[in-house]
């Protein structure tokens, strides 16, 4: 079984451009989570989605950031008008159902976003 697939692996953008990060969850998983990781920092939760629904976006900045998980296709994390502070590793994780005591998250290899 394929794991969580993220692409691109590396993304370079200039300030003001848009960045689109894609995540295909593991087969059979309908829950997707996006986390951001800065150097020397932990994984910071951004947004949690199920198919066609945003369940929790409490960790996502209100401006410039958006996320979707359409009925067909991968989940997309979109960052508009990127700034240097957006440079980070963005990890996607999936689970078969909402994370409970025995549910673990399966992570993709991440997208390293560099803003010039």
Partner 1 sequence: GQNIDQPTEMTATEGAIVQINCTYQTSGFNGLFWYQQHAGEAPTFLSYNVLDGLEEKGRFSSFLSRSKGYSYLLLKELQMKDSASYLCALNSGNTPLVFGKGTRLSVIA
Smallest separation, CB 25 to partner 1 (Å) = 13
What's the sign of the alpha-carbon dihedral 11, 15, 20, 26?
positive
Q: Which of 1, 2, 28, 42 binds partner 1 (CB under 8 A)?
A: 42
**104 counts as binding partner 1 under rule CB under 8 A:** yes
Q: Which of the 8 DSSP states describes residue 11?
A: E
Smallest separation, CB 7 to partner 1 (Å) = 13
Q: Which stretch binds partner 1 (CB under 8 A): 20-28, 63-71, 72-80, 108-116?
A: 108-116
**48 counts as binding partner 1 under rule CB under 8 A:** yes
**52 counts as binding partner 1 under rule CB under 8 A:** no
What's the sign of the alpha-carbon dihedral 76, 82, 86, 89?
positive
Residues interacting with partner 1, by CB under 8 A?
Answer: 4, 33, 35, 40-45, 48, 56, 58, 91, 99-110, 112
């Amino acid at each position: 079984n394929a794991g969580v697939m993220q692409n691109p692996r590396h993304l370079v953008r200039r300030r003001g451009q848009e960045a689109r990060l894609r995540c295909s969850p593991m087969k059979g998983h309908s829950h997707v989570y996006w986390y951001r990781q800065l150097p020397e920092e932990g994984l910071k939760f951004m947004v949690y989605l199920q198919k066609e629904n945003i369940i929790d976006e409490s960790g996502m900045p209100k401006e410039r950031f958006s996320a979707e998980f359409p009925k067909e296709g991968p989940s997309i994390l979109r960052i508009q008008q990127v700034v240097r502070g957006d440079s980070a590793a963005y990890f996607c994780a999936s689970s078969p159902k909402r994370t409970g005591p025995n549910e673990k998250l399966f992570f993709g290899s991440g997208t390293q976003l560099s803003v010039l």
